Each structure stands twice: as structure tokens, then as C-alpha cells.
Amino acid sequence: MTRETETMPPSDDAPESLRERVRRVIFESTPGAPRQFDVILMVAIAVSVVAVLLDSVPEIHARWGRALLLAEWGFTILFTLEYGVRLWCIERPLLYARSFYGIIDLLGILPTWLSLVVGGTQYLLVVRILRVLRVFRVLRMVRWVTEASFLMDALMASRRKIVVFLFAVLTLVVVFGSVVYLVEGPEAPFTSIPISIYWAIVTLTTVGYGDIAPVTPLGRALAACIMIMGYGIIAVPTGIVTVELNEAMRRQRVNSRVCSGCSAEGHNREARFCWRCGQPFEAPPST
């Protein structure tokens, strides 16, 4: 055998290993087995969350509590096996475990296992928290929404504008709350400035609970101005995020490529390396 043949890279036609096949089915979103796996997993997540919600209803828990408990453990074992397989087939399991989706996957199974070691009536609050945490499984569906990356980019790009907007709104409600406290007087429900600020927030956001309302003509006129202003203020963050969302979709052409090293998604079509771990990609196909 010559030296050239010894250093020849492996052929692309080499048979795919079991680990690589499993990784492709679990982490990719291409048609076929990967797409079927995603659909089955989404259905299982949705059913498990519905089971947790139904279990919180006293009447349903009293009649179907045992069946819902068995279903919960069935889903927990299923998701635990799936989490273990994800760590096994990925090349950098620790990096995946520390990622957003890795933490969400862990939160989906950890509460049920922790409930085995939490007992006693003094820990009822902790048990309730663990049961509620299971609802976070629904966050796992975010991994299949490609547009979520666009929305996250838009929110990050507009965060400074949104902070300035929120600061302006906070200033307005403090001013309006103080003024209505001064106008209404101590006889009205506005007994303090914090309560008046609460009323200003409810009015400015057009929620209008109605638990507190001005009674003087000047106070009602001020309330009308705040309500009308609220409609204009609501449109401001919507416009900011919409502009940034369009910009993110314009400059980022995202494909379904998933890094085999850390499962990161959202790579540009021209990307040659993973944006998270630096894993090299194959050359993108020519168009």
C-alpha cells in the first residue's frame, strides 16, 4: 500500500454508522424518519402537558389521578430515554447539555424524578412547584419553529429601543398617577401614589379593570386622555419589533442544517463552520 492511499480521506460513500443515523433522525428535520420522529415527539409533549393540566383539576384528579400518574411516569421514562440518546449520539454532549434546548430537555424530566425524594406534608409547596415545572415541556416545541430564530434576532436588535420605550412609559405612569392622586383627593379610592400609579398603568394599557375609577370631572378628563394615549403607545413596540423582524429575515437566510457536534441550528447557507462550537461543515451545494 502506498503512502498516498494511506492518507486518502474516507469516501463519502462509506456506510453511515448507527450513531450518525440516530443523530440525523433526532436532530435533523429533513423529510422521512427525522420528520416523523419530530411529529411523534411533538404529539407526546403536547399530550403530556395536557395530562399535567388535567391533573391539577380536583374533580379529574379524584377520578383519574392514578391513570394520569401512570401516564406521567410513562412520558417521563420516554423523555428520559430520548434525552440520554441525544447525549449519546451528539459529539459534544456537555455542550449540548448546557445549551438552551438541553436545559429545557432536562427540565422536562427532572421534576418527576425529584418528586420521588420529596415527601411529607411540609413539602406540599415544593411538590406543586415540581408539577408546574413539567409544563415547561411545551418549550421543547420551539426547536421546530424556524421563525423563532428570526423573532429572537429581532428582539435582541431592538432591545435598546424597547428599554427606552419602557422607561418613557414608566415615567408617564408615575406622572399621571401623581397627578390623579392630587386631583382626586383622599376621599376617592386613590389613597396613595402607588395605588394611583397602578390605576395609571391599567388605564394606559387599555386593560381597564374598573376596580378604581376617578369621580371628579377633572380626573375623568385626565383618564380619557390617558386612554386615548394608550392606543397610540401600544403601536410603538409593535412597529419597532416589526421593522427589526423584517431586517432579520432579509439579512439571514437560514436553512435546516444542524451541527453534528453541538446540535446548534440557524446557520447561514454560506456558513462553513458552526457558530457555536466551530465544527466545520461540508461545502454548501452550488445553486
| pLDDT digit string, tens, across residues 46-95 | 888 888 888 888 899 889 989 988 998 998 899 999 999 999 998 888 98
The pLDDT of residue 14 is 60
Q: Which residue has the higher pLDDT, 6 or 239?
A: 239
Report whether pLDDT(22) > 50.
yes
Report whether pLDDT(136) > 70.
no
Spell out the alpha helix ranges (H) of 28-146: 33-55, 58-89, 93-97, 100-114, 124-133
Report whether pLDDT(5) > 60.
no
Report whether pLDDT(105) > 80.
yes
**What CA–CA distance (Å, rounded) separates 230 from 255?**
40
At what angle are helices 217-251 and 147-157 packed, to 10 degrees? 120
Average pLDDT, the chain: 77
The pLDDT of residue 162 is 83
**If you write DSSP's letter for every residue of 131-191 in order, what string do you get?**
HHHGGGGGGGGGGG-THHHHHHHHHHHTHHHHHHHHHHHHHHHHHHHHHHHHHH-TTSS--
Q: Are 219 and 181 in contact (CB under 8 A)?
A: no
| Over residues 1-18, mean pLDDT | 54
The pLDDT of residue 139 is 66
Share of the chain above pLDDT 70, in %: 75
The pLDDT of residue 281 is 73
Lowest mean pLDDT among 227-231, 232-236, 268-272: 268-272
The pLDDT of residue 129 is 58
Report whether pLDDT(101) > 50.
yes
pTM here?
0.57
Highest mean pLDDT among 33-47, 54-68, 263-277: 54-68
